[in-house]
Amino acid sequence: MTPSDDTTTGGRPAPAPVARQLAGHRLFQPAAFLAALLLGNVAFTPDFLAVRVRNGHLYGSLIDILQFGAPLILVALGMTLVIATRGIDLSVGSTVAIAGALACEHLAGAKDPGSLPTVMSAVAVAVGVAAVIGLLNGFLVARLGVQPIVATLVLMVAGRGVAQLITDGQIVTVSSSTYKMIGGGYWLTLPFAVLLAAAVVAVTFLAVRRTALGMLIESVGGNPVASRLVGVRAAGLLVTVYVVSAVCAAVAGLMISSNVSSADGNNAGLWIELDAILAVVIGGTALTGGRFSLGGTVLGALVIQTLSTTIYTLGVPPETTLVFKALVVIVGCLVQSPAFRARLPRRRRPAAPAPGVGDAGVRQQEVHP
């Protein structure tokens, strides 16, 4: 064996190449998927990645993806924590609609809808009601033992009806520049919604990765029996993650309604829960619970929003939009699946000769049987 063939250094395995380490990182695949979508758009729209300054604000397709993807990032962020506990929250779309309806109704009936105290009170009402919805979901799952998909499905259907009752089945419009700031305003040249979403992501990351909260959530989702035996209060954690999920959905509902200055109880946040689940899966978090990745979820949400932008850019007919979106997501999930990659044909290396048997030995066996 020559020195170049030695794969150890001082008795330790040689470090893997940098490229292999990057490819093995959990964020590599969603980041590569996002990069492929962006580069694919450049092929059809050469200035797709261009960012311009207009009236002191940044404009461009990338900025639009961040701005319109901010609500999905928030919803997917809360969904990640719920899925990490082996749960699911199908009521986030209804919570989005309820939050927007409450805030717009509050502003529409106020004497001064543009004042900061009025807007703050509208935001407080929407977030407070959303927290109650999260408490109800958590109580049904943690205390009464209702399956998460059943408990949240009830509020998914009923919540949409509640949103329409709040608005009397009408689209409620508001005229408030202060409220418009939440989803459609700019601050420090960037959309305020992007900065708000980044702040929520940062706070959530610090809460779950700089404290024991994240480890406790993963323990409850990974092995609930073992976590209960070591004294982890699973019920309290379950209620907490459902409240966080509902609050994130409420903030997303405020962004959506403020961006269009109106509340639509029927269509606001429609099917956003499915996009959030897809974003979590693309980000690498397993639906079986346990370990989760907030960074992967953010990338997954950006992938979903970039895909939506791509569909509009390519001029895909509206009746085939969902089919096109589903096909691309399926391909992305298959690429990330270890079981699928293991089934792909690979080039086999030639088998090495048996130890101690060389060409001379073979010829000798042929001469002297």
Q: What is the pLDDT along the chain (369 residues), one digit of tens a residue?
A: 444 444 455 555 555 576 666 766 778 888 988 999 899 888 888 888 889 998 888 989 999 999 999 999 999 999 999 999 999 999 999 999 999 999 999 999 888 888 999 999 999 999 999 999 999 999 999 999 999 999 999 999 999 999 999 999 899 999 999 999 999 999 989 999 999 999 999 999 999 999 999 999 999 988 887 887 788 888 899 999 999 999 999 999 999 999 999 999 888 988 899 999 989 988 888 888 888 999 999 999 999 999 888 888 777 776 777 787 778 778 767 776 778 878 877 655 555 555 554 444 444 444 444
Whether 7 maps to a domain, the answer reads no
Three-state DSSP class for 175? coil
User: Which residues, at least 6 apart from 141, have a Cβ–Cβ distance to it below 8 Å?
Assistant: 87, 147, 148, 151, 238, 242
| Domain containing residue 276: CATH number | 1.10.3470
pTM of the entire predicted model: 0.85
How far is it, in rounded angstroms, from Cα 40 to Cα 37?
5
Structural domain count, the chain: 1
Whether 362 maps to a domain, the answer reads no
Whether 122 maps to a domain, the answer reads yes
Whether 357 maps to a domain, the answer reads no
Whether 305 maps to a domain, the answer reads yes
Which residues is 54 bridged to in the sheet? 57
Three-state DSSP class for 135? helix
Tens digit of each residue's pLDDT (9 = 90 or more) over 278-305: 899 888 888 888 889 999 999 999 999 9
Tens digit of each residue's pLDDT (9 = 90 or more) over 304-354: 999 888 888 777 776 777 787 778 778 767 776 778 878 877 655 555 555
Domain that holds residue 116: 26-333
Whether 45 maps to a domain, the answer reads yes
The structure tokens listed for 24 are 């093995």
Whether 11 maps to a domain, the answer reads no
Whether 260 maps to a domain, the answer reads yes
Cα separation values, 195 from 72, 206, 299, Å: 14, 16, 16
